[in-house]
Structure 1
Amino acid sequence: MTDRYIAGVPCWVDLTPPDVDAAQTFYGGLFGWEFEERTPPNAPARYAYARIDGETVAAIGSREGEATAWNSYIRVDDVDTVVDRVWAAGGEIVVPATDLGPGGATGRRAMVKDPGGALLGLWQAGDNRGAERVNAHGSVNFNDLHTRDGGAAEKFYGAVFGWEAIDVGDGQMWALPAYGDFLEQRNPGNRERQAEFGAPARFEEAVATLSLIPQGSDDAARWDVTFAVDDADAIAARVEELGGEVLQKPMDLPWVRATVVRDPQGAVFTASQFTGAP
């Protein structure tokens, strides 16, 4: 079995709240996550993998100086090389390339910002090869870039990862041309099945979504995370029961029913229920 991820594909998310225990209580109650502490002895910060049925889906940890937010990580073959590309393309290095785990066994990580200010992680895999479960209830469905300048974003992400912006219905997505071939090799017949289902052209190459921040909005450029759920309405109700806030009530969109929520410590995410072709 090949890796689930190739270079240029989002592979991991983690949350950096001030209170790790409270966050575990919230997300455990919301998604049914179980947690495996991964903090090395005498480490200054905590880190725990979240699992469903034994498979990793995300992590929750505390890291000094990082905002309370869901962070997205892109798989890369060589963090140091990609950091150089980020710099050359006008991005900012927030956290330099750093080995994680004993002897760097877990992986190598850097945090960067694109020219619009959106924070993004780079992940060179070691023992952690990315989330083992995706696109199922309680796991990541999509990583979502919100930016003010689509043209600048296309230049940056094209130079750094080889992404291309493609039109998908009323919106846009990031496509990685090699990803479609990878998925077809890993899961023969994938293209044909998606076409029969009515998926947009090049959807098999899609690795993330691209949204323009409306003019006049004070929203910051950012990477958001969308989690797949079985029932968006039930999730919205459960968020409020657990002390979170529903920012956008469940609404029907092409292919999905989605709600935007904020956890009790301020991290915002989307919960998306697949409903089928419009």
Structure 2
Amino acid sequence: MLTTNYVPGTPNWLDLGAPDVDAAAAFYSGVLGWTFQSAGPDAGGYGFFQLDGKTVAAVGPLTEEGASSAWNVYFQTPDADATAKAVEQAGGAVRVAPADVFTAGRLAAFTDPTGADFAVWQPGDLPGGGLGTVMAPNTLCWTELYTTDAARAKDFYGSVFSWTYQDMPMGGDAVYSLVSAPGGGKVGDSAQGGIMELQQEHLRAGSSSEWHPYFGVADCDATFAAATDRGATVMIPPTDAPGVGRLAMVMDPAGAPFALLKGEPTTT
């Protein structure tokens, strides 16, 4: 499960690239109850989504030429420059070279060998990753990679972050791989996300490799309705997933995909 006790290779920051920051802030405020706080006049429109006074994500204008709106998942690293070298050695590409963000930390952005974009954050003055809370209602609870080549993706991220995996058969040839980072605890119990290969019908429909976030919610159906009422496009309607909970997936009005999850109660 996700925690704010970040170890290398765990998700530690999340931001949205949006063509219209004000419109994005209004949408997520209406759907998840977030408020927007600007990072200041020198931040180029970048700011923070907050819930009950805690930062849950961030948002900023699109800066890369030809970029489309998307959520960007960041992973903890003690050395962004070393991670950039590891990415290249493992067959990935550097999209944004390591750079300091004032004194808050150092970031870099990459593309894995299957085409999925992701980023890393090396903390500076900003402790950990900056997310004030996870796993609470209306906050990040899971990260997931849909990929054109699961085996290649697993080899890549295993090389870069030393991730370990637990494969879960899903019927037929489909396999869902739970992801855990070293130091996060027992594989499975400490899972922070999943990797799943896109099926042929998704590829024929134009799907490509991408990371996306899941936000935990108290009521999947109500939150889904709030999103679609505000212009979100349905990708997966509310669906029961045995052993997981009730989930749905949408694209926000600008085209950024994300998922909603009402998890099943856990027992010990």
TM-score (norm 1): 0.86
Of 162, 178, 195, 1:210 maps to 195
- Map of 1:196 onto structure 2: none
Post-superposition offset of 1:63? 3.5
- Taking the aligned partners of 2:152 and 2:19, their CA distance within structure 1 comes to 33
Post-superposition offset of 1:56? 0.9
- Asked if residue 68 in structure 1 is aligned to residue 66 in structure 2, the reply is no
Of 233, 257, 260, 2:249 maps to 260
- Map of 1:143 onto structure 2: 143
Cα gap change, 1:106 to 1:122, in 2 (>3 Å): same
Post-superposition offset of 1:277? 5.9
Paired positions, count: 252
2:8 and 2:182 in contact (8 A); partners too? no
| Mapping of residues 147-162 of structure 1, within 5 Å | 147-162=147-162
- 1:163-196 Cα offsets, whole Å, 9 max, x none, are 1221246322112232117xxxxxxxxxxxxxxx
Unmatched 5+ stretches in structure 1: 182-201
2:80 and 2:120 in contact (8 A); partners too? yes
- Map of 1:242 onto structure 2: 230
- Taking the aligned partners of 1:160 and 1:57, their CA distance within structure 2 comes to 26
2:4 and 2:12 in contact (8 A); partners too? no
DSSP-derived class of the 1:240 partner = helix
For the aligned residue pairs, the C-alpha RMSD in angstroms reads 1.8
Post-superposition offset of 1:242? 1.5
Post-superposition offset of 1:123? 0.5
- Taking the aligned partners of 1:106 and 1:264, their CA distance within structure 2 comes to 31
Percent of pairs identical after alignment?
35
- Taking the aligned partners of 2:167 and 2:265, their CA distance within structure 1 comes to 19
- Map of 1:195 onto structure 2: none
- Map of 2:124 onto structure 1: 126
1:46 and 1:63 in contact (8 A); partners too? no
- Taking the aligned partners of 1:3 and 1:61, their CA distance within structure 2 comes to 22
- Asked if residue 274 in structure 1 is aligned to residue 263 in structure 2, the reply is yes
Larger fraction in helix: 1
Cα gap change, 1:72 to 1:177, in 2 (>3 Å): same
- 1:34-76 Cα offsets, whole Å, 9 max, x none, are 12110343x5x21111111111110011131242000000000
Unmatched 5+ stretches in structure 2: 171-175
Post-superposition offset of 1:81? 0.4
Moved runs in structure 1, 4+ residues, more than 4 A?
none
DSSP-derived class of the 1:146 partner = strand
- Map of 1:199 onto structure 2: none
1:175 and 1:207 in contact (8 A); partners too? yes
- Taking the aligned partners of 1:33 and 1:135, their CA distance within structure 2 comes to 15
In the alignment, residue 32 of structure 1 is paired with which amino acid? G
- Taking the aligned partners of 2:73 and 2:239, their CA distance within structure 1 comes to 24
| Mapping of residues 15-164 of structure 1, within 5 Å | 15-41=16-42, 43=43, 45-65=44-64, 66-101=67-102, 105-128=103-126, 129-130=128-129, 131-164=131-164
